[in-house]
Amino acid sequence: MLFQTPCGHNFCLKCFQKWIGQGKRTCAKCRSTIPSKMASQPRINSTLVSVIRMAKLSKSNVAAGPLKVYHFIHNQDRPDKAFTTERAQKAGKANAASGKIFVTVPPDHFGPITAENDPARNQGVLVGECWEDRLECRQWGAHLPHVAGIAGQSNHGSQSVALSGGYEDDEDHGEWFLYTGSGGRDLSGNKRTSKEQSFDQKFEKMNEALRVSCKHGYPVRVVRQVSLFVV
């Protein structure tokens, strides 16, 4: 913290207090007398402190280089396929951004996606339709997340489920299936791909969303992964 004497000289507050503690009552630079009130109750020069802080911030910004500005891309301006931007950390589709969303249903839409919500083809999303990957599946509104699992909100319900056989108890019998849910695995640290069930799943977050849909009878769209094991 900086302190300024009546004569206009600036000192470190800690150094000034040490100087006064030695019984000295004059400015260390010009020897002007320091009032007793100022000596007993020194106040920092807040204006000078602000200027120094701004100068340090400006210097750090220059050292870090110019700030990058990322612009939001509206849906109508997105390409028809998934794409990567300069922000991508990995090649391919690992860090790809979603292409244009072709359907007009809101993100929390339950049930089928009909022709009236499909201005591109005017047929809607049909049962049995296939897509190249989950990014393309997202573009047609069937399952919005880029990953398998449950899509929904715990206080609203689940709109869709993407089956991938990620749990050993998952079973797909064609007309019906057993779905384990999500959670129950320790994914901390470097165990993001752990497949060991270490604790019980709970009805919270996505699991709760699926339970809400079951309680209220909301329709849930189902997407199957092509490599899913069929019992």
Residue 55: give its domain's CATH number. Answer: 3.30.40.10
Do 96 and 107 belong to one domain? Answer: no
Q: Are residues 169 and 197 in the same domain?
A: yes
- Say how far apart CA 98 and CA 4 lie, in whole Å: 58
Q: Is residue 197 part of a domain?
A: yes
Residue 205 sits in the same domain as residue 115: yes
pLDDT at 72: 79
Residue 176 and residue 135 share a domain: yes
Same domain assignment for residues 153 and 230:
yes
- Mark residue 124 as left, alpha or beta (left: phi above 0; alpha: psi -120 to 50; beta: remaining): left
Give the pLDDT band (50/70/90) at residue 144: very high
Assess whether 154 and 42 both reside in one domain: no
Same domain, 126 and 179: yes
Assess if residue 44 is contained within a domain: yes
Between 64 and 22, the higher pLDDT residue: 22
Q: Considering the domain boundaries, does residue 140 fall inside one?
A: yes
Q: Residue 58: give the domain boundaries.
A: 2-64
Question: Is the residue at 70 inside a domain?
Answer: no
Give the pLDDT confidence score for residue 175 in this predicted structure: 85
169 lies in some domain: yes
Beta-sheet strands, E only, within 24-127? none
Q: Which amino acid is at 186?
A: D
* Number of domain units in the chain: 3
Do 186 and 153 lie in a common domain?
yes
114 and 186 co-located in one domain: yes
**Could you tell me the pTM of the whole model?**
0.64
Beta strands 221-224; 157-163: pairing state: parallel
Beta-sheet strands, E only, within the chain: 2-4, 10-12, 149-153, 157-163, 171-172, 177-178, 221-224
Examine residue 49 and state whether it is found in any structural domain, yes or no: yes
Model pLDDT, residue 231: 43
**149-153 sheet: strands from edge to edge:** 149-153, 157-163, 221-224
Same domain? For 135 and 226 the reply is yes
Tens of pLDDT along 24-49? 878 877 888 888 877 777 766 677 67
CATH of the domain at 211: 2.30.280.10
Question: Is residue 208 in a domain?
Answer: yes
Report the candidate in 46, 36, 39, 1 with the shortest Cα–Cα distance to residue 19: 39
Are both 121 and 213 inside the same structural domain?
A: yes
Separation between Cα atoms, residue 208 and residue 211, nearest integer Å: 5
Tokens of 153: 């909100």
Dihedral (C-alpha) 22, 28, 30, 35: value to the nearest 10 degrees?
A: -50
Inside any domain, residue 15: yes
Quote the pLDDT of residue 20. 81
User: Between the CA of residue 155 and those of 33, 78, 82, 110, 212, what are the distances in Å?
Assistant: 70, 31, 31, 14, 7
> Looking at the structure, do residues 25 and 42 belong to the same domain, yes or no?
yes
Whole-number pLDDT of residue 189: 62
